[in-house]
Structure 1
Amino acid sequence: MLHCRNGNPKGSSTQIRVLVLLVFLFGGLVVNAQHHTEASFGKGIKFTPADSSFSIKFSTRFQTLYRGDYTIDSKDYSDRLLIRRARLKFDGFVADPSLTYKIELGISNRDHGGGNIAETGFTPRIILDAVVKWQATEHWSIWFGQTKLPGNRERVISSQKMQFVDRSLLNATLNLDRDIGVQFWHTNNVGKDGVLRKGLSVSMGEGRDIIASNAGGYDFTFRMDYLPFGDFKGKGDYFGADLAREPKPKLAVGFTYDRNVDAVRQRGQLGRYVRLSDGTQLTNTLSTVFIDAMLKYQGWSFMGEYGNKNGASNEFAVLDDGGTIKYVTGSSINLQSGYLFKNNYEVALRYTSTKPDNAEFSGLINQQMYTLGFSKYIVGHSLKLQSDISYWEIATASNRWVFEFQVEVSL
């Protein structure tokens, strides 16, 4: 799960120049501020000029991770230290408060990977989000650009605001990730307290930072969230742990349906391109369903998710050396719960299981993971210590124990 990919020197130097330029530009804005500048830990630095024609907020964060793997059969122990994530974020409004934007850059090796269709060389991919959002009316908004698709709840929750060190096996195998396109959102009240949110996305279907023409079809995603008891405090239906300590029970139930027509990558927006050794590109229409729920009350939280991905065909690429590249299809379930004590220590449990729909034609592995997590929230999700220990059962390999410890700092 923790693989690093090294870029070439030319790509790295280009990244550094871009990042230095962004920092200097933002620094100049703050120095020359004539109207209003805000700064506080965990909320970034916000600047608004005297004429209020725009605003910009800059924030940064990183995660330092230690991970150790003990393989039971061979009694081998391997470990590593790495910067799991490092991000730069810019957001605000332009011209009018109803027109907002977000830019998020990933600057750790884990955020990089080839964005070129041919995959013949390394293309730095530092752009995670670059999206503009227009709040057209009280109930309607339109998003245009690159950002997360409205997929499973666990994926939409920011990696800064997770209950465990990292996301589950369900998310690792089935999530929709990011894509480039347009999203339409509508929110309305239902009854006395209920809230209903609906989202529709039309995107390219090949993931983030693709710079070539469309190699397959398009991706269509529909998402619906129902909150029968009203909104959570501080959007708590999309962050881990009950840091808001909801005084009354709060529940959110979500449903996602995604159809990636003529997908060219193993998991739709993610994975290798499924092509033969002679370059012939295969396609497969992938359909994905997610059902999830979040429940919080007085420090206690529960989140459950079910996911299923299937393909219209069982075709996969057979290479000259006898290897195969398969589309990842199958189902998964993830259940997790935790309790946050008044001293802001939390204990949490998680169970995840993944199963292929067909052992011969699916790239999914039958596996189960049991996880016990401990967290200390020093300043909410902006400064925290997290650790967990997992027992990982893998059908095609030796079972193992996994230990992780991570420090999160978000300015």
Structure 2
Amino acid sequence: MIEMKQIQNKNIVSPRGFTAAGVQCGIKKHKKDLAILVSDVPASVAGVFTTNAVQAAPLKVTKEVVYNTGKMQAVIVNSGNANACTGKQGIADAYEMQALAAQKLGIEPYLVGVASTGVIGEVMKMEPVKKGIEMLVPDAELESGIDFAQAILTTDTVMKNTTYITTIDDREVIISGTAKGSGMIEPNMATMLGFITTDAAIESAELQQALSAITNVTFNAITVDGDTSTNDMVVVMANGLAGNTPLSPAHPDWENFYTALRLVAEDLAKSIARDGEGATKLIEVEVEGAVSNEEARKIAKTVVGSPLVKTAVFGCDANWGRIIAAVGYSGATVDPGSITIKIGGATMVENGEPISFSEEELIEILKQQEVKIYVSLGVGKGHGFAWGCDLTYDYVQINASYRS
């Protein structure tokens, strides 16, 4: 039996041996913009990164830590400047951030990851960064975890935190996550940064295997606007201080750990979709009866990413024709005569035939803050989900004036 529970009022510093801090150093005018996350000991690390061919300088640094070192003890993060498309100077600045953070903590630079988010194409202001690193005093207080979560935000309207506790070898193991992301959300990956901490003992190879698989059904299953950013990453640090025997798929409690990690990732992914720029509603699309799970997820993501579906949800318009059209152009295998579509439990189409429904009932369903669209294909056993948000006037306003 899988054992776990979600814990409120916990955050990224809740697992044993993690500390954090966040300050305002001057990259942004009035908000926190520099943060650090630290493990007491070098931690096993796993990471997933944007598939955009144009990748920001910090990704080069962090990839080297994840793939070459296999251990990470800290990550320095700034918001307000993506340090992307900044040439050789950007690479030098990313390495300098790594070196300065390592010096501050008294650890080796190769144990420090770097992450940046914000405006693309502007050279990093290093004087505020240098000053800010000196200001950082990481500790294990929940308030410091909140400071970290606030300092990584850009156009986000809320912090994104979640924590689960599970049992490994009769020991309590904690997994916590913090993320940022609101626009340019079209994983693989999205304009998102995700940081997950756990005190579980697990080697980097097994952690990477778990994160990669989980990413496909969580972070890679959300979309806001179809744009893939240059800076996206999710990093998991596992420092082993819970004292369990090292986890692997052969461990009797592997499912406890894997499920808790998936739930953390899913919570963060959904919170990003819910906080899409200008969004008023979270849209969940569930697809079953596809040829495969992969095709089910592909269809779900196509539907939730359709601008016409997103605007229909915003306008409380039960226009199921837009849904079935998105199913049809998804590129997946479909049989039009076997498709069933429901919105919030109300059937619109059954086995390819339109069903009479109450407009008033559907308007009330579409007014809710969470709207569920269900699609059954009847051509296989594949099952999958995707999450997104409605497309509003405010999205245009926010992105029309992002640099100003």
Task: Indicate the TM-score class for this superposition, using the shorter chain for normalisation.
Answer: under 0.3
Q: Which has the higher strand share?
A: 1
Higher relative contact order (CA 8 A, sep 6+): 2
After TM superposition, the score normalised by the length of structure 2 is 0.27
Q: Which has the higher helix share?
A: 2
After TM superposition, the score normalised by the length of structure 1 is 0.27
